[in-house]
Structure 1
Amino acid sequence: MLATKVLAWRVTGSVALFSDALESIVNVMTAIASLTAVSIAQKPADSTLPYGYHKAEYFSAVLVGVLIIVAAALIAREAWEGILNPQLPEAPVLGLAIGGGATVLNFVWARVLIRHGRKALSPALEADGKHLMTDVVSTVGVIAGLVLVYLTGWAVLDSVLAALVALNIIWSGWGVIRESVGGLMDAAVSPEQQTRIRETISSNADGAIEAHDIRTRQAGKMTFIDFHLVVPGAMSVGAAHEICDRIEAKLREAVEEVTITIHVEPEEKAKHSGIVVV
């Protein structure tokens, strides 16, 4: 796709198509970063990183966002020079045909990355896919705008299109960075998933009194859950352990790739503000 977009730019000399090609260079770099991050994230936990390497994907996604914004700055510079010295692009039919073919390939690949990224709970793959989809949108806009350039003869419009591509890329990069920073800051899982977790604990804690101080966080594809489980003071350690095992088993059915920590407390520690066992 990078080679195709570079060819389209070389054929036409269009500043807008140059900006599209420059963004594809970023795509290649971000794909390499995503591949590296996904590989690191698969490593098992060890003594150095006892909670695993899952957050490596968030660092990759932040890098993707930064590279996107750098590309936007370079495109904006080229757009400004084009506005100062506008030139009408050449070979319209061939250039647009090449750009259109690259757009179709980009769209298919972006959908594949987003679908598999969500399925695998991979922030790096999903971020890469979303960036590619932004690339598709901007390329469609460039092609439509170039058609208008050729029809009207307004050469400066080519550079204006490049500037609009830069703004679109900046917005995309900021979105990727914002989502990744949430993961690095140990953001909680979605409200829907929190509800499912609380319901699972409540309906499978027979014998306990309540569960409180429930906390969750997402690190790549791994979900971490910890909470306090209040049991009757006279209950044996073995009986309390059985309740914990039952809850953990059901949570693992409800949430894929999960690490669970349960702190058992006697009934005088009840806060009467958490989950009442049903």
Structure 2
Amino acid sequence: MTPKKATLIASSIASLLALVKLVVGLMSGSVAVLASAIDSLLDVIISVFNFFALHKSEQPANQKFNYGYGKIESLASLVEGFIIGCSGGYILYEAIGKIISKEHIIELNQTIGVMVFSLVMTLGLVSFLSIMVKKSKNQVLEADLLHYKTDLLSNGGVLLSLAIIYWTDWQIVDAILGIIVALYVMFSAFGIVKKGVLNLLDRSIDEELSQKIETTLKNSPISSYHGLKSRISGNTLFMEVHLVFDENISLLEAHNLSEEIEEKLAQNDTTLHWVILSHLDPYDDSIAKD
């Protein structure tokens, strides 16, 4: 299954949850359920946005965009994080308003039933997206997964608060939980925005993959290497490295060896598309410049 199909499934489930929770939230007066409904509605908008972002990012490079459209995924992640942060701010606003107005929840039994249904559906969606992220390592799906994990936590918290209200009639629990969920959502949004910004700024690959690359290069039939650079754009890893060979080696032999090295490098993560630019040097020109 492709990442685009995964986003369609996510948006369909989010649409159903948003509709059900919105109706019950308005009927019951629960700020936590209403906040959850608004969050699910935002999920729909975000998933649809992600679908079109993925569709565009998969288009091949052209004369205008020589390196493709992979950065659109980072841009989509950035927008998604901003929207999630805004939803957290709205939840916080509603929760504080309920504390001031001291409104009570009505139709408590139906509200609990809806949140149980929502919790089960969201758990299934999180499990599905977790599998898809492991397979594709797609940044947009990863942001979606984080968002739905946040939903899972908030749904569980809402259900717990409703149970406490059911047994104790402590109505303020609903608002307190709303504040906690809001703060957590805004914190999660910050992480998504930060990652999107770093990728747009061409941050190098993560330390674990970088170590694997260096190990592969050290075990290769070359004298040394230097000038190693890398960045991620969508699902493509762009890498540049200078490979130092013995000065007596033929150009053809050095070329063939460099291709073998590039193939070994790409085996470090087969979920990524590798674009490697190898400079073939007869000596370490990084030392010569010094």
Is 1:209–2:250 an aligned residue pair?
no
Give the Cα–Cα distance (whole angstroms) in 1 for the partners of residues 33 and 268 of structure 2: 47
Residue 85 in structure 1 maps to residue 74 in structure 2: no
Pairing 1:221–2:235 present: yes
Partner of 1:56: 72
Larger deviation, residues 62-71 vs 226-235: 226-235
Moved over 6 A (4+): none
In structure 1, the residue matched to 2:36 is: 20
Q: Compute the TM-score of the two structures, normalised by the length of structure 1.
A: 0.91
RMSD: 1.7
Which segment is superposed worse, 185-194 or 41-50?
185-194
Contact 1:214–1:225 (CA under 8 A) maintained in structure 2: yes
One-letter code aligned to 1:226: E
Q: Deviations over 1:20-77 (max 9, x none)?
A: 1111111111111211111111111111111121111111111111001111121122
Aligned-partner SS, 1:271? helix
Once the two structures are superposed, the pairs formed by residues 39-118 of structure 1 within 5 Å of their partners are: 39-118=55-134
Give the alignment's TM-score, normalised by structure 2: 0.88
1:237 corresponds to 2:251? yes
Of stretches 253-262 and 14-23 in structure 1, the one that deviates more from structure 2 is 253-262
| Distance in 1, Cα, partners of 2:66 & 2:284 | 33
Q: Which residue of 2 aligns with 1:275?
A: none
Q: Which amino acid aligns with 2:81?
A: G
CA contact (8 A) 2:225 2:284 kept: no
| Cα deviation, residue 2, structure 1 | 0.9
**Take 1:180 and 1:6, find their aligned partners in 2: how far apart are those partners?**
30
Q: Percent identity?
A: 26
Cα deviation 1:91-137 (Å, max 9, x = unaligned): 21211011110111012112212321232121101101110110110
The match for 1:120 is 136
The amino acid across from 1:228 in the alignment is H
Shift of 1:270: 5.8
Q: In the alignment, which of 41, 49, 52 is matched to residue 36 of structure 1?
A: 52
Q: Are the structure 2 counterparts of residues 23 and 126 from structure 1 closer, same or farther at C-alpha, using a change threshold of 3 Å? A: same
Describe the SS at the equivalent of 1:258: strand
Name the structure 2 match of 1:184. Answer: 200
Does the 8 Å CA contact 2:224/2:284 hold for their aligned counterparts? no
User: Distance in 1 between the 2:246 and 2:285 partners?
Assistant: 10
**The one of 165, 176, 197 aligned to 1:160:** 176
3-state SS of 1:154 partner: coil
Tell me the CA shift for residue 13 of structure 1.
Answer: 1.6
Contact 2:209 2:268 in 1 (8 A): no
Partner of 1:276: none
TM-fit CA distance, 1:251: 1.8
1:268 Cα deviation from its structure 2 partner: 5.6
> 2: distance between equivalents of 1:199 and 1:98?
52
Deviation at 1:138, TM superposition (A): 0.9
